[in-house]
Amino acid sequence: MQVAHHWHADHLIREERCPLCHERSSTHLFIRQDGLPLEECTACRFVYLGVRPDESALHQYYAEHYFTGSFTNSTYSYYFDYAEAVIDLNYCPRLQRLEPFIAQWQGKKVLEIGCAAGATLELLRRKGALVRGIEISAEAVAIARDHYHLDVSCVPFEFFFLANQSYDVIMLFDVLEHLPEPGKTLDRLVDALVPGGFLAVTVPNFSCFDQLGAAWSGVQTYWEHLHYFRPDVLLATLQQRGCILTEIYSFTAAGQQADKGVVQMITEARRVYFQNLLDKFPHLHHFKRFFRSLKFRLTGPPALPRSPDLSGMDMFCLVQKKEDEQS
């Protein structure tokens, strides 16, 4: 279990209203290990932190080493290596989820919120898309700009200028749960879509808490998560904003299983051992990427996990802005 991050009391604020529908009434559900309470809105059933870190605390949390292990968050410590791997393999699960619906990327204007090191945007640019990204981590933005030469703004989303811009596709992969005002965020993003444009969202699936309670990893890790969506709540709030459902399902990614037993401990120990070896002998990275690429070419891309009954740990939702909606 991940050790809870310590939020300084001076940087905690109380949510007086639901961040999604602005209802004042809520029901208390749970207290996380970091001491912050989960509340459920009595009007829309959205779940949010009744007391949350303020924007300055969040910006500091993400600012420098979010992906490489500071603040006790080691969840994404090998993310950049993964980003390089998907470029090497020309494979990205996120795009595989989209391409049945958006097969032609040539000339499409694409915006990704929380684009990290830019791997997904780079793959889309190779397909002819006109891409742009937003990322709060300066460390990630440096890679996106210097390594991939992408147009990525290093700014919190609430400060990003969207007026007089329109996009064919906007993507938020594991981002919406991090943003302080999800309702306003979705309003701005739908406004920025062209009529018929697509909005792709992935978020943790709070239905797992309904099934597992405190055993769900979603409330025992990821202390920067401010909000929690159930499938029906996510879909309803998107439909209220003039969007039509294209696809929604849940999935459980590798390493996310609820059973965190001996097998997972051995797997983690093996990963740490090889990571230490790679840190000691950096040239071995080339061999690792070669064998990874060879395996991919021999076996093909791995099958995407999918739970049609919406019981998986995470949700994928793709909606389309109504054609008669004005930008």
pLDDT tens digits, one per residue of 245-301: 999 999 987 555 544 444 455 555 666 677 677 677 777 777 777 777 787 778 877
How far is 172 from 286, CA to CA, in rounded Å? Answer: 31
Task: Indicate whether 156 and 238 sit together in one domain.
Answer: yes
Task: Indicate whether 288 and 205 sit together in one domain.
Answer: no
How far is 270 from 74, CA to CA, in rounded Å? Answer: 16
Regarding beta strands 109-113 and 130-135, do their DSSP bridges make them parallel or antiparallel, or are they unpaired?
parallel
Query: What's the one-letter identity of residue 28?
Result: H
- Bridge partners, 113 (sequence order): 134, 172
Q: What is the domain range of residue 276?
A: 262-299
Task: Indicate whether 275 and 200 sit together in one domain.
Answer: no
Task: Indicate whether 294 and 145 sit together in one domain.
Answer: no
The domain total for the chain is: 2
> Model's pTM, two decimal places?
0.88
Task: Indicate whether 149 and 241 sit together in one domain.
Answer: yes
Give per-residue pLDDT as tens, 170-211: 999 999 999 999 999 999 999 999 999 999 999 999 999 999
Q: Measured between alpha carbons, how far is residue 124 from residues 174, 246, 292, 316 in Å? A: 18, 20, 21, 19
Task: Indicate whether 66 and 201 sit together in one domain.
Answer: yes
Mean pLDDT calculated for residue range 293-320 = 86
